Amino acid sequence: MYQGIRIAGFGGQGVISAGVLIAQAGIIDGKEVSFFPAYGAEMRGGTANCSVVVSDEEVTTPIVSRPDTVIVMNEPSLAKFEPMVKPGGVLIINTSLVNSKPTRTDVRIVNVPCNDIADNEIGNPKTLNMVMLGAFAKATGAITLESVKAALPKVYKKLAKKPEVLALNEKAFLAGANAVK
């Protein structure tokens, strides 16, 4: 199994955090992983993206140029990252913020209104990236709810003492998964 992922969106959407969580979940599942963020003058409201690899074998290139899965969280990221998806790969689109339609016909398109689910169904906009992770898990099978649950307190040490926040994240994850048809 080899899963190369690119996640892209606005700074503040939890794009980088989601990438770290996928990598940590991969370690928990006994996989080889790497995570690489776009770094530098990143800021809330600017653009952010990262590369993640989860694999049974050694990870070669950490900057994923031909992703198996692309997650697009905002409008400008669609044009930039849609062409990169491997033929036969998965393109997950946050339809709450992306109005343009993808043009690729050789990839699986997964539409998820992530912001609407986080804001309305969960009632907490901060859970946006957990909705996205749930959709990613359902669409690809690369990570599981169990591994993400175990990853959360490892990445965010303070969460270990906040079961109510963990429960909220789990709820958002499951809502994202359920949104994938």
Partner 1 sequence: MGEKKLMKGNEALAEGAVRAGCRFFAGYPITPQNEVPEYMSWRLPEVGGAFIQAESEVSAINMIYGAAGTGTRCMTSSSSPGISLKQEGLSYCAGADLPLLIANMMRGGPGLGNIAGCQGDYWQATRGGGHGDYRLYVVAPNSVNELANLPRKCYEVAFKYRIPSMILADGTIGQMMEPVEYKEEPIDVSKLEKPEWAIGVNHEHRAKRRITSYDLTEGGLEIMVNDRIKRYKAIEENEVMFEEKMTEDADMIVVAFGTPSRVATAAIKMLREKGIKAGLFRPITLWPFPYKQIQALAKRVKKFVSVETSMGQMVEDVRLALNGTAETHLYCKVGAAVLTAEEVAAALEEIHNGSTKYAAVK
Binding site for partner 1 (CB under 8 A): 20, 23-24, 27, 32-37, 39-40, 58-63, 65-66, 154-155
For partner 1, the closer CB: 63 or 167: 63
Give the Å distances, CA to CA, from 147 to 84, 103, 110, 173. Answer: 27, 33, 22, 12
For partner 1, the closer CB: 39 or 87: 39
Phi-psi region of 69 (alpha: psi -120 to 50; beta: other; left: phi over 0): beta
Minimal distance, residue 124 CB to partner 1, in Å: 26
For partner 1, the closer CB: 52 or 97: 52
Minimal distance, residue 150 CB to partner 1, in Å: 12
For partner 1, the closer CB: 2 or 174: 2
* CA angle, 80 then 114 then 78, to 5°: 10
- Could you tell me the sign of the dihedral formed by the alpha carbons of 156, 4, 116, 174, in that order? negative
Minimal distance, residue 61 CB to partner 1, in Å: 5
> Which residue, among 155, 154, 146, has the nearest Cα to 173 in the 3D structure?
146
Minimal distance, residue 53 CB to partner 1, in Å: 10
